[in-house]
Amino acid sequence: MARALGETGGDGPFLWALLADEGELIRAEREAEQMGAELSRVIYFTPSSDKNSYISMMDMADVCRAGGWANGLARMTAESPLWRKDKVAGMEFGFLYGCEFYFWFYPTLLFYIFLQALEKESPPGALLLSPHLPLHLRILLPTWARRCGVRLTWLGRRGDMRLGGSIWEVSKALLFRPLMGLLRGTVRRLFPGGRIFPCGVLMVAQYSRADVETVLPVYRYFVDSSPLRPVSIVSASERAESYIKAQGIGAPNLEEELSFGDILSLLVLGVRFLGRWRFMLQRVWRDIGFGGDIAEVMAQCSPFAFPRNFASMLRLVVIYGGFLARVSPRILLLADDAHPRGRALTCWARELGIPSINLQNGAVGGEYAFIPLSADIFSAWGKAARRWMVERGTPEDRVVVCGSPRMEGLAEGLGKIKPVDESKISTVLLLTSPYTPTEVVRVLELVGRAVADMPQLTLLVKPHPSEDGALHQRVLGSIEGLGGRFQLLPSHHPLPQALERCQVVVTFNSGVGIEALIAGRYLVMVNLTVLREMIPYVECGSALLAKDKDELTSALSMIIEDGGVRERLLSSRRRFYDYYLASLTGESVESVAELCEGMVKEKVGG
């Protein structure tokens, strides 16, 4: 039973607030005043809030635990025999949608861990709640509050998905958005070069710059040299389309490559699956044995809570299937088959008898990665990625080492950067990653204090593109002794320009370390987390490891003062390239081309 207003939760304070952002604070304080209570603690759901952010109550161990837990649930859900009874164009829906479940499970489980942490602090008698909190959390809170005896008070009407809202969201995803895509695509096809014709090789760039940097070198080579021409490239998102357009190449968005018949098929599928989805979902979860407090709320975290996500997946399935059938390429290449878009494309390719290759676009490794290989072949950068995937159940004949077109493409520009002047090692570049704010603060403080104690050094800091840098500025500005010996670069600052200005790079588990090595910079890996090294920089001897300030100071001193250490780091790069990047010989694109030609010949011969 909920505590009466005015009682405390054990030794905890009387009234707390969970707010979406700092702009809601005044409203929360007014509500507390009307309740005759003092607002004693506020927790925000914006990472930039630093110590007042919900995620500051967790560490990397919690984040990894949520990731591993969600990964396991996604796998079990996808592999449940109940899924195999329902197919879309021959594709088992669990396999097609299994990875999307990861993105539902993960935030739900992360918020569940946060509530566990909140409970350990003796929760208050009452909580003021923003109606704009994430939906996963809004679903979890009532169950948690009943167990803990916490009274929930909402600051306005909650945005929970009602039946009317669900119908509207589904209608937008299944009807209005496809109609708009059909209209835009029709207009574009009126202009020269705006239409995709049947082709020999089809390449798809999905989301990120990494996808584009992976696909474009192969595309350019095929346009000039491949016997499988003609070659076409398309994008699966507006972001990818803009990246490719910036390179002077047209890549129509797949959302606009649909027909009126596709829309009719989409409506039929939508009615069929939405009518049965929730019941099927609940049966799957019972089948894989959900238990504990979270079982009660997981059934609510269904496509009816996220109808746009579910309907969008159906839309992509129909659009991609119709498009591939019309274009009928001899082979399909893409840079990601883990996300739902890539899975839909590769599943359709298999259904239509089109060979497919997933080109590795970034770091592969770690303990919590999800490997739902749906393409026929995974083109791995090197032996490290191949070994990791095979050890985790991928058939050996489906992983082929071809090298990295992306890194070899980047190497052309990075190789032009001036070598390090051994007599002037004075600038350290810190490249941060978007882990929890707590972990980012720890890394910033560690590196900042180490540089502060070494007056011969200055510090450059480049936040990850998804970070805004405000936290970095605040932490570094408070470090005694560092003074003006640091500069915060914009998160969008070109990495090659940052590498030009430094001699040593400090980072952790990030692919940018590869670019630092290619540019001839010395590398230090800082590891303050429970994560093992994902990329074998230290294992191959191409980087020094630092787990605390003393080790970092020692690593920086050795690089500055010991020519033998610098020589060992330089000579070990070849070992890293051989193991992780198939030697970085510049022949990866040709290897991919040979793989494509062999797969096409095998299909024709079969």
Within-domain flag for 270: no
Within-domain flag for 286: no
State the residue for tokens 């829906």: 93
Residues 22 and 154 in one domain: yes
Residues 406 and 423 in one domain: no
Task: Give the pLDDT means over successive 10-residue stretches in the chain (606 positions).
Answer: 37 74 87 86 72 74 75 67 57 57 73 84 84 81 84 75 57 75 72 64 89 93 86 89 88 81 77 63 59 53 54 77 89 87 85 92 71 84 91 89 94 89 93 78 91 95 84 89 91 92 91 93 88 86 95 96 94 94 92 94 74
The set of residues, in sequence order, having a beta carbon less than 8 Å from that of 423 and lying 6+ positions away, is: none
Strand partners, 304: none
Residues 41 and 126 in one domain: yes
Name the phi and psi angles at 45, rounded to 5: -110, 40
Decide: 306 and 135 in contact? Cβ < 8 Å. Answer: yes
CA distance 590 to 350: 24
Q: CB-based burial of residue 164 (10 Å sphere; 0-12 exposed, 13-18 middle, 19+ buried)?
A: exposed
Q: Which amino acid is at 378?
A: F
Residues 454 and 489 in one domain: yes
Q: What angle do helix axes 307-327 and 260-274 make, rounded to 10 degrees?
A: 140
Instruction: Return the pLDDT at 285.
Output: 59
Within-domain flag for 399: yes
CA distance 310 to 577: 41
Residues 230 and 325 in one domain: yes
Residues 423 and 389 in one domain: no
Residues 553 and 533 in one domain: yes
CA distance 559 to 556: 5
Element (H, E) at 526: strand 522-526
CA distance 204 to 246: 16
Name the phi and psi angles at 336, rounded to 5: -170, 120
Tell me which residue of 596, 538, 576, 598 sits closest to 383, measured CA to CA.
576
CA 72 to chain CA centroid, nearest Å: 17
Within-domain flag for 19: yes
Element (H, E) at 242: helix 238-246
Instruction: Return the pLDDT at 158.
Output: 58
Residues 404 and 455 in one domain: no
Element (H, E) at 152: strand 151-154
Residues 351 and 225 in one domain: yes
Looking at residue 128, which CATH number applies to its domain? 3.40.50
Q: Which pair of structure tokens corresponds to residue 283?
A: 């049966």
Within-domain flag for 357: yes
Within-domain flag for 282: no
Per the structure, the count of domains in the chain is: 3
Residues 440 and 486 in one domain: yes
Decide: 306 and 289 in contact? Cβ < 8 Å. Answer: no
Residues 379 and 428 in one domain: no
Q: What angle do helix axes 93-120 and 60-79 make, rounded to 10 degrees?
A: 150
CA distance 122 to 471: 28
Strand partners, 53: 44
Residues 405 and 531 in one domain: no
Name the phi and psi angles at 412, rounded to 5: -60, -40
Q: What's the angle, vertex CA 81, arms to CA 319 and CA 89, rounded to 5? A: 20
Tell me which residue of 319, 602, 559 sits closest to 450, measured CA to CA.
559
Q: What's the angle, vertex CA 138, arms to CA 136 and CA 139, rounded to 5? A: 65
Integer-rounded Cα Rg, in Å, for the chain is 26
Q: Which pair of structure tokens corresponds to residue 364?
A: 């592969």
CA distance 365 to 386: 10
Within-domain flag for 423: yes
Name the phi and psi angles at 141, rounded to 5: -60, -45
Could you tell me the residue range of the domain that residue 206 belongs to?
173-260+306-411+587-605
Residue that is last in its domain, among 107, 131, 160: 160
Q: Given CA atoms 145, 146, 152, 154 in this order, what sign does their dihedral have?
A: positive
Within-domain flag for 507: yes
Looking at residue 491, which CATH number applies to its domain? 3.40.50.2000
CA distance 514 to 520: 10
